[in-house]
Amino acid sequence: MMASRAVIARPSAWLVWGAVAFFLINLFGLVAYVVLNSFSTQWFGTWLPDGLTTTWYTTAWNELSLFDVLVVTLEVAIAVVVLSVVIGGPCAYALARRQFPGKKLLTVLFLLPILMPPMTYGIPLATVLYKFDLAGSITGVIIANLVPSVPFVVLTMTPFIEQIDPKIEAAARMCGASTAAVFTRVLAPLLIPGMLAASILVLVRTVGMFELTFLTAGPGSQTLVVSLYEAMFSAGIRAQQAVDAMAVIYTSSMLVLLVIALRFVNPTQLVTRLKETPT
């Protein structure tokens, strides 16, 4: 009785839940329409399509060269992930372990590519890449995607490094371990969760990155999201069902990556642990 009175006394709760329900219903309807239309033979003015078929997926695979697009997407994503971890790992270690002038300014600079819209720095970046004949190739796409990915790795791995006791490194050095041995045999095994978290998050971000890839990609270096955009808006007549089939493939791949990310990444580990001050 008291609970019902509390709900009646708070009409704002009904408004919030109503807005959430309205959003979810529209989202489900939009996704259901695209999925159903990708299997439809034709669909005009009726609640359901006239028939179902899988030929549109074959059409999208052949006519839109989805195999080549998926290979390019995989190549770009793997290269960006590996280079981001290789470059961002030492940077994260320096920020976590060292105190030096300008450290806060450097941290802010690392934040800028993540906080700013990619289009604001994507156009100048694409101009530079075109000037050096790097744009239009897979190399240019990889370089462009490294700009937001390396800071993302730095900010993701820094909390993991801060949670490792520096005394472990000191003990290894006292036992005669070199710097390379400390990194490869002591820190690397302890940082596997952090590297895995950063890699998966960068992978998801790279596959879904549209602006930077669109500005720097050429005919043979387009990722899946850019190919989907061009199939939808470029000149020529294409069956809407084939474009929807391509959209379903893209959405399914992103969903799989997000599920894997949530399986291996604990969001609470991405929050920097506050250092205890001695009393």
How far apart, in whole angstroms, are the C-alpha atoms of residue 223 and residue 208? 9
Residue type, 155: L
Q: What is the pLDDT of residue 4?
A: 52
pLDDT value for 144: 94
What value does the mean pLDDT of the chain take?
82
Q: Mean of the pLDDT values across residues 122-137?
A: 90
Q: Is 108 exposed, middle or buried (0-12, 13-18, 19+ CB in 10 A)?
A: exposed
What's the confidence (pLDDT) of residue 269? 52
| Residues 187-216 pLDDT 10s | 888 888 888 888 888 988 898 889 899 999
User: To the nearest whole percent, how much of the chain has pLDDT over 70?
Assistant: 89
Query: How much is the pLDDT for 52?
Result: 85
pLDDT in tens, 223-279: 988 988 888 777 666 778 888 888 888 888 888 877 877 776 655 555 444 344 444
CA dist 112 and 120 (Å) reads 11
pTM (2 decimals)? 0.79
Distance CA 71, CA 138 (A): 11
More confident residue, 210 or 180: 210
The CA distance from 203 to 78, in Å, is: 7
Domains of the chain, earliest start first = 11-53 (no CATH), 57-270 (1.10.3720.10)
